[in-house]
Amino acid sequence: MPNNPFRPALVWKRSWPDERQKGTGNDPHNPKCQLRVYREFVSGGGGEETWHWVANERRFIEQGYAPTALEAIEKAEEAYFGFMSKERHG
Protein backbone atom coordinates (compact mmCIF):
# COMPACT_ATOMS: atom_id res chain seq x y z
CA MET A 1 0.00 0.00 0.00
CA PRO A 2 1.50 3.37 -0.99
CA ASN A 3 2.39 5.81 1.72
CA ASN A 4 0.07 8.81 1.40
CA PRO A 5 1.39 11.85 3.33
CA PHE A 6 -2.00 13.62 3.02
CA ARG A 7 -3.57 14.72 6.31
CA PRO A 8 -7.09 16.19 6.20
CA ALA A 9 -7.22 19.92 6.92
CA LEU A 10 -10.94 20.01 7.68
CA VAL A 11 -13.04 18.36 10.38
CA TRP A 12 -14.31 14.96 9.19
CA LYS A 13 -16.77 12.69 10.95
CA ARG A 14 -19.06 9.79 10.21
CA SER A 15 -22.45 10.75 8.84
CA TRP A 16 -24.02 8.51 11.48
CA PRO A 17 -22.29 7.06 14.58
CA ASP A 18 -22.61 3.45 13.37
CA GLU A 19 -21.98 4.18 9.67
CA ARG A 20 -18.38 3.64 8.52
CA GLN A 21 -19.02 4.00 4.78
CA LYS A 22 -20.24 7.62 4.82
CA GLY A 23 -18.59 10.79 6.08
CA THR A 24 -18.96 14.54 6.09
CA GLY A 25 -16.31 17.24 6.12
CA ASN A 26 -16.79 20.71 7.53
CA ASP A 27 -14.75 23.88 7.61
CA PRO A 28 -15.09 25.32 11.14
CA HIS A 29 -14.55 28.80 9.66
CA ASN A 30 -17.18 28.45 6.92
CA PRO A 31 -20.59 26.97 7.81
CA LYS A 32 -21.51 26.86 4.09
CA CYS A 33 -18.87 24.20 3.40
CA GLN A 34 -20.38 20.77 2.79
CA LEU A 35 -18.12 17.91 1.78
CA ARG A 36 -19.27 14.30 1.61
CA VAL A 37 -17.70 10.93 0.89
CA TYR A 38 -19.37 7.55 0.70
CA ARG A 39 -18.56 4.04 -0.43
CA GLU A 40 -20.19 2.57 -3.53
CA PHE A 41 -19.80 -0.81 -5.15
CA VAL A 42 -18.77 -0.84 -8.80
CA SER A 43 -21.56 -2.05 -11.07
CA GLY A 44 -21.00 -5.32 -12.85
CA GLY A 45 -20.27 -7.37 -9.76
CA GLY A 46 -16.92 -8.52 -8.54
CA GLY A 47 -17.34 -6.83 -5.17
CA GLU A 48 -15.05 -3.93 -6.11
CA GLU A 49 -15.68 -0.69 -4.29
CA THR A 50 -15.02 2.95 -4.99
CA TRP A 51 -15.48 6.10 -2.95
CA HIS A 52 -17.66 8.91 -4.26
CA TRP A 53 -16.87 12.45 -3.10
CA VAL A 54 -18.82 15.69 -3.44
CA ALA A 55 -17.81 19.27 -2.58
CA ASN A 56 -20.33 22.09 -2.12
CA GLU A 57 -20.12 25.66 -0.82
CA ARG A 58 -23.41 27.52 -1.33
CA ARG A 59 -23.52 25.64 -4.65
CA PHE A 60 -22.08 22.56 -6.29
CA ILE A 61 -18.30 22.69 -6.75
CA GLU A 62 -17.20 19.30 -8.02
CA GLN A 63 -17.59 15.55 -7.55
CA GLY A 64 -15.70 12.43 -8.47
CA TYR A 65 -14.48 9.00 -7.47
CA ALA A 66 -11.40 7.70 -5.70
CA PRO A 67 -10.20 4.19 -4.80
CA THR A 68 -10.03 4.81 -1.02
CA ALA A 69 -11.81 6.90 1.58
CA LEU A 70 -8.67 8.93 2.33
CA GLU A 71 -8.12 9.71 -1.35
CA ALA A 72 -11.78 10.75 -1.68
CA ILE A 73 -11.35 13.10 1.30
CA GLU A 74 -8.21 14.51 -0.31
CA LYS A 75 -9.99 15.13 -3.63
CA ALA A 76 -12.97 16.77 -1.91
CA GLU A 77 -10.68 19.08 0.07
CA GLU A 78 -8.65 19.96 -3.04
CA ALA A 79 -11.85 20.91 -4.87
CA TYR A 80 -13.12 22.96 -1.94
CA PHE A 81 -9.86 24.84 -1.31
CA GLY A 82 -9.38 25.44 -5.05
CA PHE A 83 -12.88 26.91 -5.25
CA MET A 84 -12.32 29.11 -2.20
CA SER A 85 -9.02 30.38 -3.61
CA LYS A 86 -10.74 31.37 -6.87
CA GLU A 87 -13.55 33.07 -4.92
CA ARG A 88 -11.05 35.15 -2.93
CA HIS A 89 -8.75 36.02 -5.81
CA GLY A 90 -11.23 36.22 -8.68
pLDDT digits (tens, 9 = 90+) for 19-50: 778 999 999 999 999 999 999 987 766 778 89
pTM of this structure: 0.85
In a domain, 31, yes or no: yes
Which amino acid makes up residue 5? P
What angle (nearest 5°) sits at the alpha carbon of residue 41, between those of residues 56 and 68?
Answer: 60
Q: Which domain holds residue 23?
A: 16-89
In a domain, 78, yes or no: yes
Q: 38: burial class by Cβ within 10 Å (0-12, 13-18, 19+)?
A: middle
In a domain, 75, yes or no: yes
- Residue 1: what pLDDT? 47
In a domain, 11, yes or no: no
In a domain, 5, yes or no: no
In a domain, 67, yes or no: yes
